[in-house]
Structures are given as structure tokens and as C-alpha cells.
A and B are shown apart, each in its own frame.
Chain A
Amino acid sequence: MPTQEARQDGKELTLGILFILDNSPDPPEDMEWREYSEWAIAEHLKRHSYYHHLKGKRTLATVAKMRSRMLDMCPWNRKPTMPKPNRRGEFKDNVDVLFGCGGTDLLQKRFLENQGYDRSTFSESQLSKHVSEAENPGDAKTDGRPEDETSEENSGNDTVASNTNSLVVGEEQNRENEGGAAASPSIQPALPSPSSQVGTPAQPPDNSHSATRPNRIGNHETRDQNGTTLDEQLPPSRDEGRRLRSSVGPQTQTPSTDNGTSSVNEKTNSASSETLLGPQNESVLGAKRKPAQNHGPHKRQRQVNNTTHQDEPSGQKPGVHATTQTESSSKTPSMANGTNGQESPQTPIPSRDTHHKSQLAGLNLDQQGRNMKSLYSAIQQATDAILKSIGQIRNTPSPLHSEPSGALEDLYARCWGPQWEEVRVRQVGDHVFTTPQVTASLLSAFLYEKVLTRGVRLEEVISNLMEMGGSLGEALLKEFDVSSRGESDSTLLHIVTAD
């Protein structure tokens, strides 16, 4: 039996499964998300031969259990309940897993929809806020914001004021639904505190919500859309008809500068200033959780915080390809070095801590920067070693192979564009591409294509870990210790038969 610690670790590793789901191909448009989750899991199991090669431990029952466990991890298959902290103020619910340790963007979105939150404005602090408000109901009206902020916003915006009232009603209903369990006296959530969000449930649908996500990143790979542009994938009718309620507040008309943020914002160029809506603006139009009485497809309120968004080319990074990998979380301590965490769960984070969150982000960003530099340094060292093996040919023009294979041609195209052959001819005279640069670029391009962006390897690693057992695999499997359900089995049998 794994230790309790191993089980807890296993819970974190369930993120691997979530990651797999998030990296599944786009669903057909006529497929509901619940169906999609099952389809994605089936596809995953099929890819890894769970269905076709029932050898060793891969009995049908094992497959059914695997599938059942994976399905059970899907937040949209869970009964929406608010997370409740334990005596130490720690959340043990999967919500914590989702938002604290890398739950994928897609799954967070689906979970938030089930919970009635607005994905675009949700902050993890809302969960703790919801609990803490039970102790201080008066705080619900200001929703954690400073009084002056609230009064200023309310005075200038009747919509916001009415929304505030609805917030109070919603909170009361939530408390009723939760049987008062939220009034735990020992709550010290290690989460960022409320970021002042007010819902807008009474507002009519507003199509302008589509402008809230500037397509700043040139996502060019299919899987990019899973994580970052999910809204754009959904048909507007479904998106709006089922769930969305939007409103536009006057505050959103004026982009504000975010003085309290990390250095990331400092270096952002002016062209993207329209995207830098400060947290105050977001907070004014932030979403509010709807009463949790309906466990079906919940309506959610949604903010529109950037009605003035323009699709200016200058507002985007020119041609920068990027692939969104994983998930947002409002607490992102620097764990990238695997050696330290900057916080302990017992340390309560002050309220109204947008600035504090920025500090956390700053720490995290610094660490990521160091890690990326380290990776680049590793590339350079590898390049030096390879070139040393070939001969000391530094600072000489590097030839490109005249007739590369398909894969090498792809790398050339990645590095030098589709007209790489012109470059090959020209660069001989210009001597602009030295051998180390070209070699490093090819290595980096391979890394980018095969390791950094695709996620295939991680998926395989996680899958293999589950199969191999070992402490990680065992913990992962134990965490999924959910008895097989008849419904799942029958569905599975149907899938197997269909295959």
C-alpha cells in the first residue's frame, strides 16, 4: 500500500491524465464536451493499445478501470461542490489539484463552467473568498476590494451596483446549498485572496465577449486551440445560448496601466498596451458564481473587459509562433527548479493581493528565465562538442545540405523559412550564418518541434509510468482507485466492439 504521502503525490500526478486530455485533438463541433471527454479518453487508451493488446495486466477489467478512473477525473463528470478546506486550511478537493498544480486550461475552463464561474475573470481567490464570506457576510458586498474602489465603481455604474446585490444573493444561496459548511472557523486558505470581482447576471448577452481574448499569439498548431482559444472554437450559438451572459462596463473603455505587476509588464511594448487591462478593470466586471442549485450545464456570467480591443498587427508579436502548453493558476510558486517553494500552505496571503500575486509571478518568471538560459547554454555546449568532434570549424560559413531529407528540410524551413534554399545559395556569399549558429538553430528547432511543443513525449512518459508501476505509477494508479462503474464498462465494451 502506498503511504499517505504517496497517495497525495499520486493526486498531483493525475494531472498527467488531465494533460493528456488537454492535448487530445479538437472535438468535432457536434460533440458535446461530456461526450468529448469520453471520446478523448477512449482515443488515448486506443492509442496506447489498451484495447487491442490485452496482454499482461491489460485485461478488459483493467481497461475499464483505467477508463473509469480517467473519466472520474474529468471535472465536468463530477458533482459541482465547493471545495472545503480541512482543519489546516488546505483544500483537498480536486479543485486544488486543478488550480494549484497545473490543471490544464481546458479542464479548468470546463470545471469553472460547471461551477458557474467566468473563466476569463476567475481567480483562485474566489474560492477562498466564498468561504471567508460566510464568516464576514458584509465583505461580500465589497468582494474583497477596498471601499473606495467599490464605492467609486458603484457610483459611476448602476450595472455594477445591481450586480453587487446579485452577488450577495448568490452567496447566500451558495451557503444554503452547502449547508453552512463554509463557515469553518479555521480556514486559512493558502490562496490568493479575492480579486474583487462582481458578477453581471442580469445583463443581456453581448457578442462583444469575443473581443476579450486578443489573439496575440500566433498559434499555428492544432493543439494550441485546445488550451487557449477554446471559446473561439465553440459555436457562438452554443457559447452564448447556453451559458453566456455578458455585460460591458464603462470602466473597460479605458485601458489602465498595471503598476503593480511584475517586470513582464514593464517590458511589454506600447503596441500591446490595449491588452494590459489592469486588475481593477477586470475586477469591476468580474464574474460571479451563480447559485449552485442546478448541476446541469450551468449558465455562467462572463465579463467583457476589453471592448476596445483592436486587431492591430502592431498589437501582436510579429509572426511569433507559440504553443500554449499548460494551465493557468493564480498561485504559481517557483517550482521549476524543483528545489524550493516560496510559500507554505500555512502562510495566509493577504487580501486584495493583486500586487502579491504579481510578486509571485515575478519570482516564477525569474526562475523560468534562468531555466531557459540554462537550456540555451546546454544547446551551446552541445554545439561546441559536436563541432569539436567534426573539426574546429567555428566562424566559417555553414553549408546547408543541398538535398535534405524530408525531416531535415522541415527543420531548414523552420529555421530559415520556406525559401531556405535561396538562403542556402545566398549565404555562401554573405557569410552570415556561421556554423555554430546554424547547428544551434537546428538543434533548437528540433527541440521546439519534438520536445517543447508537442507534448507527445510527456504523454508517453506518464502513460508508461502508469503501466510500469514503480512509486510514481503506483501512486497514480492508487489515486485512481475508483471502482468500475457498470455504465462505463458497457460503454467501454461498446467501444471495444466498435473497434
Chain B
Amino acid sequence: MIEAQKAFSKLAQDDDSLQQQLNLEAATLAKSASAIIAPHLSALSSSAKLFGLSSNNPEADTLKVFESEFAKVIQKTLHYRLQLLATGCEYAFTWPSPDDVLDSGSMQIDGGRAEDTGGQSIVLFTVFSGLEIKSMSSNEMEAIPDARAVVKVQRREDRF
């Protein structure tokens, strides 16, 4: 069965039709994301001009860059999901909500230091999702230390 899994992974990597499908899906999703986030990018562009930092790129070019770059991310993510499927693990992606109390077991601070976690900190927002996999020993979903959700936190007493 392990060999079969290897074969699956190899076939999935080598198969042109799968690659085409993944690329197609990634491009479609990236285009969709571009349409959704375009107003936000436009606001960023305006902000950049306000700060005198604009690159003077046409907005269309920015969207092209966005689609191109984000499509790569999506491709990678789709590949990863297929590979996760092949492992046979039961897994769950996590997304801490704003105002959650910081749980260092499943969350890591975005660029933070250890002292930042002193006191009770809360999640301001999540920068990247985490991953949990069912533990074989306890049969419980366990957060993976190296795959904790990346969050921006703030001390509770410092809240505005």
C-alpha cells in the first residue's frame, strides 16, 4: 500500500492532465480572488500615492501581478491538499477568530517574540491558517507545532 501511495503521488506529479487541471483551477481561483480583492488593492494603491510611494504601475498591471502570484500559491495549496488526501490522515485546517485568547499550542504570533505573549493576549486577526491532524494515540485532533496558525495579537489590557 505504501508503494501504491508512492505510485499515486508520482502519478499525480507526473500526470499532465492533473497538472493542467490544477493549473486551470488555480488560474480560475486566482482570477476570482483578483475580482474580489481588487477594491482593496485599489485602496492600497491610493494609500501608496498618498504616501508618495506609488510605483505608478497601472492598476491592471497590479491585478495581473496579483493573479500570477496568487495562482502559484493556489497551485501549491491544491497540490498539498491532494498529497494530504494521499496520506490518509484525518486533518483540519484551523482559523482562529478575532478576540480568541492566544493559545500558543495552536497559534504563533506573527513576527512576535516570546515576551509578547506575557499576560493574556487576544487574537486581532489571523495571517495564516493552522493545521491539525488526528493523533493516533489519543484519537484527538492535535495542532501541529510547526503548522500553527499565524496570528497578530494584542494584550487584552491594551485593547482599544
By a CB distance below 8 angstroms, the chain A residues around B65 are 385-386, 389
By a CB distance below 8 angstroms, the chain A residues around B5 are 12, 100-101, 333, 335, 341
Contact with B along A300-328 (1 / 0, CB 8 A): 00000000000000000111111111111
Whole-angstrom distance between the alpha carbons of A275 and B135 in the complex?
11
B7 near A332 with CB under 8 A, answer no
**Minimum CB–CB distance for A141 against chain B, Å:** 24
B87 near A472 with CB under 8 A, answer no
B98 near A338 with CB under 8 A, answer no
Closest to B102 in A: A318
A399 near B144 with CB under 8 A, answer no
Q: Given A8-B7, A325-B93, A472-B15, verify A91-B1 contact (CB < 8 Å).
A: yes
B93 near A393 with CB under 8 A, answer no
Q: Given A378-B73, A407-B36, A448-B93, verify A358-B136 contact (CB < 8 Å).
A: yes
* B40 CB contact (under 8 Å) in A330, A387, A401: A401
Q: Given A322-B93, A375-B80, verify A460-B25 contact (CB < 8 Å).
A: yes
Whole-angstrom distance between the alpha carbons of A429 and B160 in the complex?
10
Whole-angstrom distance between the alpha carbons of A322 and B141 in the complex?
10
By a CB distance below 8 angstroms, the chain A residues around B87 are 102, 329, 332-336, 364
Whole-angstrom distance between the alpha carbons of A82 and B83 in the complex?
28
* B4 CB contact (under 8 Å) in A101, A329, A386, A441: A101
B85 near A326 with CB under 8 A, answer yes
By a CB distance below 8 angstroms, the chain A residues around B6 are 335, 341
A59 lies within 8 A of chain B by Cβ: no
Whole-angstrom distance between the alpha carbons of A260 and B133 in the complex?
17
B147 near A443 with CB under 8 A, answer no
A471 lies within 8 A of chain B by Cβ: yes
Closest to B151 in A: A441
Q: Given A102-B86, A331-B88, A446-B36, verify A452-B146 contact (CB < 8 Å).
A: no
Whole-angstrom distance between the alpha carbons of A91 and B3 in the complex?
12
A415 near B40 with CB under 8 A, answer no
Whole-angstrom distance between the alpha carbons of A430 and B154 in the complex?
11
A161 lies within 8 A of chain B by Cβ: no
A216 near B141 with CB under 8 A, answer yes
Q: Which of A162-213 contact B (CB under 8 A)?
A: 190
* A452 CB contact (under 8 Å) in B81, B83, B133: B81
By a CB distance below 8 angstroms, the chain A residues around B57 are 389-391
A40 lies within 8 A of chain B by Cβ: no
By a CB distance below 8 angstroms, the chain A residues around B125 are 415-416, 433, 437, 441
Whole-angstrom distance between the alpha carbons of A468 and B21 in the complex?
10
Closest to A457 in B: B25
By a CB distance below 8 angstroms, the chain A residues around B134 are 328
Whole-angstrom distance between the alpha carbons of A33 and B106 in the complex?
35
Closest to A449 in B: B95
B88 near A404 with CB under 8 A, answer no
Chain A CB within 10 Å, residue with most, of B73, B150, B152: B73
Whole-angstrom distance between the alpha carbons of A461 and B8 in the complex?
15
Whole-angstrom distance between the alpha carbons of A388 and B132 in the complex?
33
* A390 CB contact (under 8 Å) in B48, B100, B136, B137: B48
* A426 CB contact (under 8 Å) in B18, B137, B160: B160
Closest to B147 in A: A372
Chain B CB within 10 Å, residue with most, of A12, A19, A217, A414: A12
Q: Given A264-B145, A361-B136, verify A471-B17 contact (CB < 8 Å).
A: yes
Q: Given A8-B4, A338-B13, verify A441-B126 contact (CB < 8 Å).
A: yes
B144 near A372 with CB under 8 A, answer yes
Contact with B along A442-474 (1 / 0, CB 8 A): 111111101111010110110011001111110
Q: Given A364-B87, A457-B29, verify A375-B126 contact (CB < 8 Å).
A: no
By a CB distance below 8 angstroms, the chain B residues around A268 are 105, 142-143
Whole-angstrom distance between the alpha carbons of A258 and B136 in the complex?
11
B88 near A344 with CB under 8 A, answer no
A341 near B145 with CB under 8 A, answer no
* B83 CB contact (under 8 Å) in A336, A392, A393: A336
By a CB distance below 8 angstroms, the chain B residues around A393 are 44, 47-48, 51, 53
Chain B CB within 10 Å, residue with most, of A282, A430, A446: A446
B74 near A331 with CB under 8 A, answer no
By a CB distance below 8 angstroms, the chain B residues around A326 are 84-85, 88-91
Whole-angstrom distance between the alpha carbons of A377 and B4 in the complex?
30
**Minimum CB–CB distance for B23 against chain A, Å:** 11
Q: Which of A373-397 contact B (CB under 8 A)?
A: 373-376, 378-379, 381-382, 385-393, 396
Closest to A336 in B: B83
A49 lies within 8 A of chain B by Cβ: no
* A417 CB contact (under 8 Å) in B7, B92, B98, B103: B98
* A320 CB contact (under 8 Å) in B22, B46, B96, B142: B96
A99 lies within 8 A of chain B by Cβ: yes
B11 near A472 with CB under 8 A, answer yes
A408 near B37 with CB under 8 A, answer yes
A252 lies within 8 A of chain B by Cβ: no
**Minimum CB–CB distance for A26 against chain B, Å:** 18
Contact with B along A56-100 (1 / 0, CB 8 A): 000000000000000000000000000000000011000010011
Q: Which of B17-35 contact A (CB under 8 A)?
A: 17-18, 21-22, 25, 29, 32-33
- With A318-B100, A328-B90, A440-B127 given, name 15 new contacts (CB 8 A): A91-B1, A99-B88, A217-B132, A327-B90, A344-B3, A365-B144, A375-B77, A391-B53, A432-B152, A435-B44, A441-B126, A447-B73, A451-B29, A451-B77, A452-B77
Q: List 6 A-B contacts (CB under 8 A).
A: A265-B142, A343-B2, A345-B3, A382-B73, A415-B125, A451-B78
4 shortest interchain CB distances as A-B pairs: A369-B146, A329-B88, A470-B17, A372-B147
